[in-house]
Chains A and B, each alone.
Chain A
Amino acid sequence: MGNKVACLGLFVTLALIFTYVETLIPFSFGVPGMKLGLTNIVLVLLLYWYGPKEALFVSILRIFLAGFLFGSFFGILYSLSGALLSLCIMTGARKIQDFGMIGVSILGGVFHNIGQLFVAMIVVSNYHIGFYLPALLLSGTVTGWFIGFLARQISMRISNKIEK
């Protein structure tokens, strides 16, 4: 039990580091909400190694800490909406037969972007920004594939060493 809490603490730290690294990489291409989604490596692995509760715990803690450390309060709202939707979808997708980390991660990436765009539309009260959707879908699909691929490689190597 004690080991599990310590492990989750490490995952929060790892997710925070990824968040910081991500602020250094200009990946948005001038599209609001477009991102690399590196922290999703941590969430996908948590989902497989522990479960949705643990992933949710780390995700929320990561968002609030990152919001206070490198962002502003507004950023927390967008991140939360994207992250919660994405985690719900990934939790469901994990149960699909013949569906692995890559598929789960792709759906996570896509729905993360959809969730954020939806909140953005409400916040600025302008549905025309929905025209960013194709670009966000594309980036969610491609980065989701890449993140899922990395997560699977990591899992294949160290899954047996994780304290569950």
Chain B
Amino acid sequence: MKKKERNLFIFLLALVCFGYLISAFYTKEEAGKIFIYVSGEEIGSYPLNEDRNIPIKGEAGFSNHLVIKGGKAYMESAGCPDQICVREKAIWKNKETIVCLPNKIVVEAVSEEEKELDGVT
């Protein structure tokens, strides 16, 4: 690698570390609840302390299956072609998300504190 390329590489890695620090700061609290959005519209919210199966009908027509188990939420199955949402890790901390882009679904975990702030505004 040339010198400028090496500098770029190091700069980007530093940026990555900085990004992870920021996201660690935002996600440090445990989440109490998840919100489900389809195309940006909230279609439901569920507490993480009750086990549950939630079918979600997304924008593209096929359905995804979200499972809440042991305080964590994960996508158990999905009709999407890429299956990335199924491979995403289970969410249980503030602001963590599971996204199914083909079906325009976002599942977001939110902490108790965050919920109260939302309630005030």
- Indicate whether A52 reaches chain B with its CB closer than 8 angstroms: no
Q: List CB contacts (< 8 Å) of A2-42 with chain B.
A: 26, 28-32
Q: What are the residues of chain B within 8 A of A71 when measuring CB–CB?
A: 81
Binary interface encoding of chain A residues 111-148 relative to chain B, with 1 for a CB under 8 A from any of its CBs, else 0: 00000000010011110110111100110110001000
Binary interface encoding of chain B residues 85-104 relative to chain A, with 1 for a CB under 8 A from any of its CBs, else 0: 10111000001110101101
Do B97 and A131 touch across chains, with their CB atoms under 8 A apart? Answer: yes
- Indicate whether B43 reaches chain A with its CB closer than 8 angstroms: no
| CB < 8 Å neighbour of B39 from A99, A125, A129, A138 | A125
What separation, in Å, do the CA atoms of A107 and B41 have in the docked complex?
A: 34
Residue of A nearest to B22 (CB): A134
Given A99-B2, A137-B16, A138-B16, CB of A74 within 8 Å of CB of B84: no
What separation, in Å, do the CA atoms of A71 and B12 have in the docked complex?
A: 31
Do B81 and A134 touch across chains, with their CB atoms under 8 A apart? Answer: no
Q: What are the residues of chain A within 8 A of B60 when measuring CB–CB?
A: 72, 74
What separation, in Å, do the CA atoms of A131 and B5 have in the docked complex?
A: 26
Residue of A nearest to B11 (CB): A141
Do B9 and A106 touch across chains, with their CB atoms under 8 A apart? Answer: yes
Residue of A nearest to B23 (CB): A131
Residue of B nearest to A107 (CB): B8
**Count of A interface residues, CB-CB < 8 Å:** 36
What separation, in Å, do the CA atoms of A138 and B23 have in the docked complex?
A: 14
Do A98 and B40 touch across chains, with their CB atoms under 8 A apart? Answer: no
Can you list 27 pairs linking A and B with CB atoms under 8 Å apart?
A: A30-B89, A31-B88, A32-B85, A32-B88, A74-B60, A74-B102, A98-B3, A100-B2, A102-B1, A102-B2, A103-B1, A103-B8, A106-B5, A106-B9, A120-B99, A123-B104, A124-B37, A124-B39, A124-B101, A124-B104, A125-B39, A126-B108, A131-B97, A132-B97, A133-B19, A141-B13, A145-B9
B residues neighboring A (CB under 8 Å) = 1-5, 8-9, 12-13, 15-16, 19-20, 23, 26-27, 37, 39-40, 60, 81-82, 84-85, 87-89, 95-97, 99, 101-102, 104-106, 108
Nearest 9 pairs of A and B residues by beta carbon: A125-B40, A134-B19, A103-B5, A30-B87, A30-B88, A141-B12, A138-B16, A126-B106, A134-B20
A residues neighboring B (CB under 8 Å) = 26, 28-32, 71-72, 74-75, 78, 96, 98-100, 102-103, 106-107, 110, 120, 123-126, 128-129, 131-134, 137-138, 140-141, 145
